[in-house]
Amino acid sequence: MKVSVIILNWNGKRFLDDCLTSLAAQTFRDFETILVENGSSDGSADYVRKRFPWVKLLALDRNLGFAGGNNRGLLACTGEYIVTLNNDTRVEAPFLAELVVAADADPGIGMVAAKMLNFHKHGCLDSVGIGAAMNGLGGNIGVNERDAGQYDTPAPVFGPCAGAALYRRAMLDEVGFFDPDFFAYYEDLDLAWRGRLAGWRCVTAPSAVVYHIHSATSGKMSPFTVYQVQRNKWYVMIKNWPAALFMERLPRILLYDLGGIALAVIRGRGGAALRARFHVLRDLPALLRKRRGVRALRKISITEIERLLVPGGSPFRTFRRKMGEGR
């Protein structure tokens, strides 16, 4: 099998018809689909069994999160390439074909980022990959921009958004898949860091188009999202950043972190933000053990790592912009 598609589902029955019907219409046919039923209570499993019998259903008895659920799905995969796909998506017919073309172009490419558009506003971008910034944050490239063809030329990026991404199995065998301790959010940035540190590259496949309902499962700026994002960004840095680079950038990292706490407090999410940082301190011994494993993977220099990072912009402008986005 060339491609294994993993779709994680948690109480997302309402999304599955669009997602799976669009997969059934792919021009590329050498693929299997594994749907990981992550302990839903909305009848998703029975619906898939009856409506989409060609899908391999892996039913779990509890919610393992995005990271843990995909890891379980990987155990059932036979493909040379692993494609992760959110359940709240609809893909165009050449989606898989374009991802495979991009990956087949060079054996050093370990990751491929699809072009994700807003499900309800097709002219608005959701992601064309993820970037890693010098302030410790990560984010979707192109998010909320009008799609005017500015990203239609294939290009290198730090990593793919795991909502619609291709990973080479050989890379995953070397660096591992998602860290289950992340549960949800930033697990794709963590995986991209490990891949990049090990010398693998990532490119975009602009013709691999997918329409995505952003934050359909967890909700934008919910306490859950605030906790996961503000905890996991520190997980990423502690696990992956070289010490010299981390210490050099620490003042700016802390300034942005204070802004994140302040924003959460203003929006009534201060408890989630403080709990996130407390748990980072609690988990520090385990994170440092993982860090030693990541360090053993590293094949590129600190100078090369710095070239992969984007500046991150002014913390004050970022704070004002976030305030303007509302709750």
CB environment 133-156: b (16+ within 10 A), e (fewer): bbbbbbebbbbeeebeeebeebee
Q: What is the pLDDT of residue 327?
A: 42
Structure-model confidence comparison of residues 262 and 221, the more confident one: 262
Per-residue model confidence as pLDDT tens digits over 161-219: 999 999 999 999 999 999 999 999 999 999 999 999 999 999 999 999 999 996 544 55
Q: What is the pLDDT of residue 319?
A: 53
Per-residue model confidence as pLDDT tens digits over 50-64: 999 999 999 999 999
Structure-model confidence comparison of residues 315 and 44, the more confident one: 44
Q: What is the pLDDT of residue 318?
A: 62
Distance, C-alpha 178 to centroid of its chain = 9
SS (H, E, C) 244-274: HHHHHHHHHHHHHHHHHHHHHHHCCCHHHHH
Residue 250 amino acid letter: L
Q: What does the angle CA 177 – CA 221 – CA 132 come to, to the nearest 5 degrees?
A: 45
Question: Over the chain, what is the mean pLDDT?
Answer: 94
pLDDT (average), residues 145-154: 97
Contacts of 269 (CB under 8 A, 6+ apart): 221, 223, 226
Q: What is the pLDDT of residue 323?
A: 52
Q: Where are the domains of the chain?
A: 3-212, 223-324
CB-based contact 71:172 (threshold 8 Å): no
- Least confident segment among 8-12, 234-238, 265-269, 314-318: 314-318
Q: What does the angle CA 232 – CA 236 – CA 242 come to, to the nearest 5 degrees?
A: 155
Domain 3-212 = CATH 3.90.550.10 = yes
Q: Using 50, 70 and 90 to split pLDDT, how confident is the model at 122?
A: confident
**pTM (global) more than 0.85:** yes
109 has pLDDT over 70: yes
325 has pLDDT over 80: no
